[in-house]
Structure formats: structure tokens, C-alpha cells
Amino acid sequence: MEQRMVIIPKFYLVLALIVFSLPSAAFPQLKTRNVILITTDGGRLQEMFGGIDADVFKSTNKNFQKTAEYKKFWADTPIERREKLLPFFWKVLMKEHGSIAGNRALGSVVTTTNHMWFSYPGYSELLTGEAHDDVIDTNSFGQNRYPSFLNFLQKKLRLGHDQAAAFGSWNAIAEIATNDPKAFTANAGERNSSIDDKEIALLNEARALTVGPGPGVRHDYFTYKFAAAHLKKFHPRAMFISFGETDEYAHQREYGRYLQSWHNFDAFLKGIWTFLQSDRQYRDKTTIIVTIDHGRGNTAKDWDDHGRDVPEAQYIWMAFVSPDVSLRGEWKNTPELYQNQVAATLSKFMGFRYEEQNPAAGKPVAALFGK
């Protein structure tokens, strides 16, 4: 009896210590224990919300109605068209697990705060939470000099080298994702996966002996497989996965290939989601943001382009999938969101205030936290 009276208070003391030392102590209601940011480079709003764009396709190919892509992705209404292009995203992810902002026709707007409207500034804004137009005005910026939310979460959670990770199809992704190249796994473009495995060895060889979709860019399939292998083996708690083919084929005015890249992106999302939900660490404990670095032109003339001379490219979309958020489908008539809010939003889901690292960063997206 006496012994019990001693044991019980000790047990509660230990329990209290454990509970209050968890990183989410500041936001005790949250289930999130892992965060992943996923992007597809310059994937337009027009395809995300309306599927295949006949005017654009026609401008690149008079016989577009005879192409395999038209036959595969055409349907009478925008809703049917987008569901053919992105079946997993629209029919599963947005119906059962998440929501998307950025459909201007419904009164939801998401923009970049940088005024460059090309890749390096866009990814840097997503990852660090702040635009730096005065400094970052080229895709050849090299190693980022500003720390990202991956650097922040790695420090806060004392994560090892493999527990924070960035994977990208474009070489520069490894440099944009961190201001310290040695801090965590950063695998992009022409880099091999370092995982010691027969299938990965074959993929490394295939990557090296395959002509990529553009200079310094590998096919998205390699990025998908390398990132998936890393997830399985190292179970990172903070991750960035960046796909690149949508941008490459758009620049080349290869609309059919651009559509197929979108469709593959949907398959990658399905593969990643299926793994996450089959794994104890990730299932119902992982928050994902899916978005883009920049938009592109809106017409048959400039759909392939983006950058300072294409203001339409400032408009982006942003999807949120989280066990802590009950919003589903499309956002309607909501306040404007900004690209610089992603770093603070993902940090908040993990129980941290990103402003500790960067007071100038965009604030967490309030609507996701019930405010």
C-alpha cells in the first residue's frame, strides 16, 4: 500500500515530463509528427483546376485531337477533365484527406510575394519563408545563404543527417533547400542515390544513361524512386520533394508531354501517400503541402513562359493534407494566401514558431488552425 502511494505519483511525474517535453506541447491538440512539402515545377492553375486546355493544345498541334493525350485526358466539363488528368489528387486526396486554395474563379487567391516569378526565388520563398528580390534574382544563385524550414526543424528536433531531406529533379534544388550543404540529405538532378540497394543501383545507372528532360534535370521518376526509398529506409520527419518535368516540357511547348508529366505527378502523389498510410510513423501523423514555385502565362501565346514579364505567373495554388485539418475540396471566398507562409505553417504543425528562425517570414495559414 505504502509502496503504491510512492509509485503512482512517480508514474504521473514521469508521464507529465514526457507529455510536456514533446515538441507539440505548445499546440497539444495536433497529431502531426512529420511534414512533407511536394512541388511540381510551374504546374499551371489552368490544368490543376480545369484539366487539359484545348486552346493551348491546338496552338502547339493542329491535329491535337488525334493525339494519345487528348484521347486520354479530354472530357466535356472542367471537373471531369481535371479528374482525368489528376485522378488520385481530385478523387481521393481532395475528397477524403485535404483541400486546395488558389482557384480564382471561386474567390481563392494564392500568390508569390517575390516579383521574379521563376524557380529559384519561388523555391527559396517556399523553403525559407521570405522573398529576397534584392539578392535572389537568378536561377544560378548557387548555395542558398538563408536557412530553410528543414534547417529549422532539424535543429529543433535534433534530427540526424537523414531525418531531414530534400529530393529534386533539378540540380539547384539541393542548393536552395539549405544554407549548409552538409546539414542533411540533399539529392537532386545529376546526383546518385547513396542507398546501397540493387534496385537503386540500377536506377542510378539508368539515370546516368538517360537524357533528361532538360539541362541539369533528371526525369521525375528517378526523384520519386529515390525519395520513396529514402522515406522507407530513414523515415525523415521533415522532407521536400520537388518534381520538374512539367516546367521543362512547357518551355519546350510540348503540351502533350506536359500533360503526361502532370498525370505522372498524380501517380507519384498516390505512391507516396500509399506508403505513408501503410507506415506506423507516418499514418495519420503526417502533414503535406503540395504547391508550385510559380505559375505561367494564361494564353495560347504565353502558357509556356513565366518570369518578370509574365505577371500571370505570380498566381499559384496550394493544397493542404493534414490529420489536423478537416477542410476538404476547394477553398471558396477566403483571404489571399502567400507563398511565404509555407515554412511557418509546416513548422507550426510540428509545434514550433518559425519566427524564431526568421521573424520576417510569412505567418502560418490561420484557416488551417481553426482561426
C-alpha dihedral sign at 34, 39, 45, 51 = negative
The DSSP annotation for 140-201 comes to: T--S-SS--HHHHHHHHHT--TTTEEEEESBTTHHHHT-SSTTSSEEEETTPPP----HHHH
125 vs 324, beta carbon nearer Zn ion: 125
C-alpha dihedral sign at 118, 124, 126, 130 = negative
92 vs 300, beta carbon nearer Zn ion: 300
* Shortest Å, Cβ 116 to Zn ion: 11
* Shortest Å, Cβ 300 to Zn ion: 18
Contacting Zn ion within 57-86 (CB under 5 A): none
Label residue 318 left, alpha or beta by phi (over 0 means left) and psi (-120 to 50 means alpha).
Answer: beta
* Shortest Å, Cβ 341 to Zn ion: 23
Taking CB under 5 A as the rule, does residue 304 contact Zn ion? no
* Shortest Å, Cβ 338 to Zn ion: 20
* Shortest Å, Cβ 170 to Zn ion: 9
What are the cell numbers at 79?
Answer: 471537373
Rg, Å, the chain Cα set: 21
Cα–Cα distance, 305 to 56 (Å, whole number): 12
* Shortest Å, Cβ 305 to Zn ion: 8
* Shortest Å, Cβ 92 to Zn ion: 29
Cα–Cα distance, 124 to 141 (Å, whole number): 11
> Segment near Zn ion (CB under 5 A), from 50-58, 85-93, 199-207, 242-250?
242-250
> Segment near Zn ion (CB under 5 A), from 94-102, 182-190, 212-220, 245-253?
245-253
147 vs 213, beta carbon nearer Zn ion: 213
247 vs 324, beta carbon nearer Zn ion: 247
CA distances from 48 to 70, 83, 122, 218, 316 (A): 16, 9, 18, 23, 10
User: How many other C-beta atoms can be found within 10 angstroms of the C-beta atom of residue 208?
Assistant: 11
> Segment near Zn ion (CB under 5 A), from 127-135, 209-217, 239-247, 321-329?
239-247
149 vs 317, beta carbon nearer Zn ion: 317
220 vs 247, beta carbon nearer Zn ion: 247
The DSSP annotation for 90-157 comes to: IIIIIIIIEEEE--GGGT--EE-SSS--SHHHHHHHHHHS---TTT--STT--S-SS--HHHHHHHHH
254 vs 279, beta carbon nearer Zn ion: 254
Q: Please provide the size of the chain in residues.
A: 371
> Segment near Zn ion (CB under 5 A), from 70-78, 164-172, 240-248, 345-353?
240-248
> Segment near Zn ion (CB under 5 A), from 9-17, 103-111, 243-251, 272-280?
243-251
> Segment near Zn ion (CB under 5 A), from 69-77, 210-218, 241-249, 315-323?
241-249
Of positions 245, 247, 304, 330, contacts Zn ion by CB under 5 A:
247
Cα–Cα distance, 18 to 20 (Å, whole number): 6
**Applying CB under 5 A, what is the total number of residues that bind Zn ion?**
1
What does the angle CA 126 – CA 127 – CA 130 come to, to the nearest 5 degrees?
65
Name which of 237, 223, 227, 230 is nearest 164 in CA terms.
237
* Shortest Å, Cβ 112 to Zn ion: 14
Give me the residue whose beta carbon is nearest to Zn ion: 247
Cα–Cα distance, 95 to 98 (Å, whole number): 7
247 vs 330, beta carbon nearer Zn ion: 247
> Segment near Zn ion (CB under 5 A), from 8-16, 80-88, 244-252, 315-323?
244-252
- Give contact residues for Zn ion (rule: CB under 5 A): 247
